[in-house]
Each structure stands twice: as structure tokens, then as C-alpha cells.
Amino acid sequence: MFDKVKFAQIIKNISDTYENQRDFSKKSGINRTYLSQYMNMKLDNPPKPNILMKLSKASNGLVNYNELMKICGYTDISLDIVNLESLRDEVEKQYLNELASIHLSAKETEVYDTIIDIFPPNTENMESDEIRNMINSYFEGIDWISEKSKNKIIDKIQLFIEYCNDLNEMQNEIYLKMASHKFGHNQNVLEDYKYNSNKSKKIYMCPVYGQISAGVPNWAEECIEGRLPIDPSLMDIVDPEECFFLRVNGESMNKVVQNGSYALIRRTDWVENGEIAVVLVNGFDATLKKFSKQGDLVVLEPMSDDSSFQVQVYDKNTPIKVIGKYIGKFEMK
């Protein structure tokens, strides 16, 4: 159970170690208003674990993460799962940074993407040399590619494969921990759950298709610039291949997804009024907005802290086409 009185006192104690609340907010990376609401006990629900992690790091030794988790009513099993998820997120960030550090030319990227798309999904038990030899076989018939380019592409693919395998293994640990909590320690049940997790709950590396404007409509480039992980089972995604990411460029949807983050989109040509959609305006301009239709009018509404962004209204003379529904996001903190 969330002890908001004790939690409020802890935040006040941490704040007192700083010269002012602005410094506390800056050090923790948590909004001042949000901190004040908890200090004044105006919020009944506890902060999410990632906020507690930030608080513990900024507490100047007054409180640790585990103590905050317990004060906020998270159980021991929740704590274990959150710790595993935090570790997975750190591993994920490290791999993404390493992958980004291997720079490929446009032609090299085209070869890389082609091989990734057709590479066997089950590589957990393959040796590094075996993977390298398999990748090498895909270069047959590509006469322009140099040994240097080959090595760069192979290094990136091997790192990508290692990344997928490690994330799958860590994800299965989380599932097994959840299963232990749910089913107790019945070994047969756990093994069966683990088997099904391994078989059906794999991370899917979802393609990223260029940028999309979240301000003035702007063309979204139809070329894959990378891939990001999603867990279809946790997000209730039936067919992950119907999903893609678009990198948001602008502030008009910052209440939902921040500038520079990735909006997860499911392909569809129809959404309900009030849902967030990717919409083509005039056949080529793509924008992410809250969508509604009122008679012959289509209304595209920004969701921003910046009041300069205006609602866009189009009549039947402007071609409007929904190309996807917003279902989630990927943000690097």
C-alpha cells in the first residue's frame, strides 16, 4: 500500500539537501510541479518505478531505490521484475549506442537491411564464426562491395544478432519471474510456461521509417533507417509485421510523444474519432494528430503544451487518408 505521508516527508527531506527546489528538479530530472504535488500529498497513486530510480539517485544518500519501492507499495516480486526490466533497458541502450556507432553508407545500409530481413531468426546456439560465414554467403553476386564494407556490415549484423538474443533471454527471465509469482514453484508449470515464452514471446525488431512531422505536415521518408525492439505479447499486437516506427519531428504532440522520440504505428486506413493517427494530407504530406471526422470535415488536433499549434480543419476538397493508428512509443531518456 502506498504510504503517501511517509513518501511526502522523504521528498521534503531530499529537497532540503538542495539550495532550492529548482536544483532538486534539475538533478533528479523530475518536473518541479510533479514533485510539489507529492510533497503536498495531492496524488493518491505512487510514482512509476523509473521515477523512484531517479529520486533515489538524487537523494544524496537519504534513501535507496528498494526503500522507495516498498514505501510506494510495490511488492517484492514487483521489485524483482522492475529490477530485471531496468537491467534489460540498460542493456538495450548500450546495444543501441554500439549499433549507432557503426556507420554505414547508403549502399551498405541497403545490403545490411536486406540481410537482416532474410537472416534465420534462431541463432542462439550458433557460433560467431558460423554466423560470420553465413553472412558472407549473402555477399555473392554483389561485385561493388569492398572487404572493408563487408567487415563493417558483418560486424553490425553480428552485434544486432547478439542484441536480439540477449534481449530475448532477459525478456524470458522476466516472464519466468512473473510465472513463478503466478503459479508458485510447480516445476512442470514453470517449464511449460518458459517453453511457450521462448516460442511465442520473442522480441520483434520493428522497422523505423524515417521522420514524420508532428507540427506542420511534412513528408515521411519511405526508407528504413533502423529497427527498434517491441514485445508483441505485452502490447497485445497480433501481427507485429503490421507495425512500424516513425521518428517524430516537432512539438505539436509533445503531451503524447516527445520531439525526437519514436511513435509506434499500426497500419490501418480507419480510426475512431478521438484516436491518434498518421494521416496523409493532399496525398503526400504526413502528420501525427488526434483525428476526428465531423460530417464532411476532418479535424486534426495537436496535443501540445505550446498553444501556437492550431487545430487543422479540412473539407471534402482536400484529400485525407489515414495510414496508421498510434499505439505506443519508444523514448530514450
Q: In the 8-state DSSP scheme, what is residue 218?
A: B
Q: Looking at 28, 252, 290, 325, which residue is catalytic?
A: 252
**Annotated catalytic residue 150:** no
**Annotated catalytic residue 289:** yes
What's the sign of the alpha-carbon dihedral 234, 239, 240, 244?
A: negative
Q: In the beta sheet, which residues pair with residue 280?
A: 286, 321
In this structure, what are the phi and psi dihedrals at residue 251, rounded to the nearest 5 degrees? -110, 5
Q: Which residues contact 256 (CB under 8 A, 6 or more apart)?
A: 276, 303, 326, 329
Determine the 3-state secondary structure of 263 from DSSP: strand
- How many C-beta neighbours within 10 Å does residue 42 have? 10
Q: What is the distance, to the nearest Å, from the Cα of residue 149 to the centroid of all Cα atoms in its chain?
A: 30
Q: Looking at 4, 202, 289, 325, which residue is catalytic?
A: 289
Q: In the beta sheet, which residues pair with residue 283?
A: none
Rounded Cα distance, 7 and 12, in Å:
9
Provide the Cα torsion 197, 199, 203, 205; round to 10°.
-170
- How many C-beta neighbours within 10 Å does residue 136 have? 11
Rounded Cα distance, 67 and 223, in Å:
47
Could you list the active site residues? 252, 289
